[in-house]
Amino acid sequence: MKEQILRQVYQHPELSDSDLEKIFSIHEKIQLKKGDFILKEGQTANNYMVLEKGIMRSFVYDYNGDDITTNFFIENEIVIEVSSLFQRIPAKEYMQSLTDCSCYKIDFDKFQELFHSIENFREWGRAWLSNSLFEFKQRSVSIIKESATDRYLTLLKRKPQIIQQAPLKNIASFLGVTDSSLSRIRKSINL
């Protein structure tokens, strides 16, 4: 199971089987309970994880003290706070498990060893970061250009498990709507 999940995440044409074996060997399996914090604002991230099972989210508190979900993470995705991990600065977000989760964790120091010893791992990293930046940009533009209903439908299509398992208040804040607006959207779609 470990190899299958990590193979999907670290998919890159330049990574050889021996490269992948080295990468897989330094991932440590961990279990998290619903509600566990992976990272809190002010802490510096010292690892990232590949989510095998479960759902996680990142969130911030806005200027009114409201909890706003900034991202959801589902199975076979990397759970990471990029700025904190790579710039070695305190996080501005919280990261929390929304369900019981199993993950494969890689510590920053071990990641650095791989990054400097496997050239094609660097290429994978560049491709992953580029794709993540593209997705972030798409989400930023969608908040401005798309209706809340369209954003909901996109989330439903891309990550249906979020709609099925995440608390509605977290989904609403992620979409940039109130709980009651989300209820109206859901009702109008289910008619």
Kindly report, residue by residue over 103-154, the tens digit of the pLDDT. 999 999 999 999 999 999 999 999 999 999 999 999 999 989 999 999 999 9
Report pLDDT for 80.
96
CA count, 13 A, side-chain hemisphere, 82: 10
Contact 81, 93 (CB under 8 A): yes
Residue 189: pLDDT band (50, 70, 90) is confident
What distances in angstroms separate CA 176 from CA 61, 99, 141, 144, one per listed residue? Answer: 14, 22, 13, 10
What mean pLDDT is predicted for residues 13-34? 94
156: containing domain: 146-191
Report pLDDT for 28.
96
- State how many domains the chain has: 2
Contact 110, 26 (CB under 8 A): yes
The Cα–Cα gap between 162 and 175 comes to: 12
pLDDT at 191 over 70: no
What mean pLDDT is predicted for residues 162-172? 95
* Identity at 49, one-letter amino acid code: M
pLDDT at 45 over 80: yes
Residues 70 and 157 in one domain: no
Query: What would the pLDDT profile of 70-93 be if each residue is shown by its tens digit?
Result: 999 999 999 999 999 999 999 999
Residues 101 and 69 in one domain: yes
Report pLDDT for 3.
87
Residues 92 and 57 in one domain: yes
CA dihedral 136, 156, 4, 71 (to 10 degrees): 40
Residues 177 and 95 in one domain: no
Report pLDDT for 91.
98
Residues 158 and 109 in one domain: no
Residue-averaged pLDDT of the chain: 94
Residue 25: pLDDT band (50, 70, 90) is very high
Report pLDDT for 71.
96
CATH code for position 6: 2.60.120.10
